[in-house]
Structure 1
Amino acid sequence: MKKVLFLALSLMASLSAYAQEAVVATEAVPYAYGMHLDVAKVIHITPTADVCGPTPVQMTYRDSHGGTHLLEYSVIGSGCTN
C-alpha cells in the first residue's frame, strides 16, 4: 500500500512540473541597435504584415538561464513587389 501511495505522489509531482507554464513578460521590449541579446531558443515569431514598408514583429525567446522574453523589432513587410 505504501509503495502505491509513493508511486502516485511521485507521479503527481512529476506531472505538476510539466504543467507549469512559462511566464512571459506582457509588454515587449523594443530592440535598440547594439543591444545585447542572450537568445538560446526562439519560441515564436509573429507573422510579417502584408504591407510595403517597415512593420513591427515580436519574437518570444528563451535565454541561456531559462528566462522567457518578448522582443519587438521592425522588418520590411511582405507586401512589396518589384
Structure 2
Amino acid sequence: MIQAAEQPKVEKYTYGTKLDIAKVISVEEPANVCEAVPVHMVYEDHQGHQHVLEYSVMGKGCSNN
C-alpha cells in the first residue's frame, strides 16, 4: 500500500494534455447524476511512476425516457 507521503498529486486533464500511459491501474465510476462530474484514473507511465488524473465525464443518471 502507498504511504500518504507517497501519494501522487492529482493532475487535472485539459484538452491537449500529453499523457504517457503505459498501464491503467483503476478508473473511477461516474456518479449517478445527469451532469458532467469529475472522475479519477490512476495510471503508470513508461518510467514506472504512478499518476492520478482528474477529468470530466457525463454522470450515469441521464435517461432518454
TM-score under structure 2 length normalisation: 0.86
Bigger helix share: 1
| Aligned mates of 2:48, 2:11 — CA distance in 1 | 18
Q: What SS does the corresponding residue of 1:37 show, helix, strand or coil?
A: coil
The structure with the largest alpha-carbon Rg is 1
Give the number of equivalent residue pairs: 62
Once residues 7 and 27 of structure 2 are traced to their aligned partners in structure 1, the CA distance between those partners, rounded to angstroms, is 14
C-alpha distance in 1 between matches for 2:2 and 2:35: 35
Q: Percent identity?
A: 45
Aligned residue in 2 for 1:76: 58
Residue 29 of structure 2, aligned match among 33, 47, 54: 47
Looking at structure 2, the residues matched to 46 and 57 of structure 1 have their Cα atoms a distance apart, in angstroms, of 6
* 3-state SS in 2 of match to 1:61: strand
When the two chains are superposed, the root-mean-square deviation of aligned CA atoms in Å is 1.7
Which residue identity lines up with residue 56 of structure 1 in the other structure?
A: P
Structure with higher strand content: 2
Where does the alignment leave 5 or more consecutive residues of structure 1 unmatched? 1-19
Q: How does 1:20-35 map to 2 (within 5 A)?
A: 21=2, 23-25=6-8, 27-35=9-17
Q: Which runs of 5+ in 2 are unaligned?
A: none
Question: For the residues of structure 2 that align with 1:50 and 1:21, how far apart are their CA atoms?
Answer: 29
> 1:7-66 deviations in whole A, cap 9, x for unaligned?
xxxxxxxxxxxxx758431x3111011000000000011111000010000000000010
